[in-house]
Amino acid sequence: MGDFRYEREALDPIGATILEIPAETDAEFAEAARNADAVIAPGRRITAEIIEGLDKCVVIGLSSVGADTVDVEAATKKGIVVTNVPDVFVEEVADHTMALMLSAARRLKLMAQLMRTGNWREARPVFNDVPRLWGQTVGLISFGNIARAVARRCQPFGLHVIAYDPFVSELTMTAEGVEPVGLMEMLERSDFVSMHAPLNAETRPLMKAEHFAAMKSSAIFVNNGRGPTVDETALIAALEDGEIAGAALDVFEVEPTNPENPLLHMDNVIVTPHVASATARMMPETRRRTGREIATALQGGWPRSAVNPEVLPRTKLRRWQPYPMNRGPNR
């Protein structure tokens, strides 16, 4: 049996039993999980077929920010709450975003290559056309928890931050010292464009050829979010054609990406293998949170984070969280 010690911290006290299902197909999994009260499925996509076969399930728990491994629409239709962990590794991903951004700005991949090949004196001229970091503009696509943490990190470097997110109040952005703008304006003005959008039908992909064409030829594109939010073919073409100056990527359209992917072999592209959230704390804490969310739902309460909150009023779960009082007349 797998190691569920972190989930058990919350599930054992309520008498929950964890049953592993060694199913090869969705149909096998659905049949075995038919009477489950909750589902945790690391490494398996929870499809509409599986969800339709769940007769007693109250909650599906994810140990991730993204929920693209679950058919959320099918879960909502079935009246099942889907939970995630949107705030556990925010700081880690923001740190990695800054690390990649700064590495790309200072051309560290190229610098290391010149050192290894004995071309020491060729390094300094590379920066003849590279401006200093201070005063440059960072554009954020989406303004969720991670983007906000990135914005806070940008400011001590003297970077001006602008952001596009049609679902976030302008006051939320300006409170963080961030200028709200439209998507195309953000692309046209930014020296760095950092992708933080969730993956859904509207964002698969969000960045296409016309968006890269709108960017400055000196701009750098950064993605520590979700790979399929970017048309990778368009990104490769933009880099090859000089439409943008470089890229820094932790995620790819298909993962693991093919070792022959051109992005892995460009001097002006820095890559890492989807490790932005990885630290010693990440795995235990995300699994603890998943266990707590499931335990809360199994005891009849609303989870702390629901990917599909619209389903909550249709369930028998009770709201225990206080109602926010910061909105009203003249707010």
Catalytic annotation, residues: 226, 255, 274
Please give the structure tokens belonging to residue 60.
């599906």
- DSSP secondary structure string for all residues of 227-246: GGGB-HHHHHHHHHTTSSSE
Give the whole-angstrom CA distance, residue 90 versus residue 277: 8
Give the whole-angstrom CA distance, residue 272 versus residue 68: 21
Identify which of 88, 91, 90, 54 has the alpha carbon closest to the alpha carbon of residue 74.
54
Identify which of 101, 99, 121 has the alpha carbon closest to the alpha carbon of residue 111.
121
Assess contact for 240 and 214: CB atoms under 8 A.
no
> Does the N-terminal peptide bond of residue 256 adopt cis geometry, omega within 30 degrees of 0?
yes
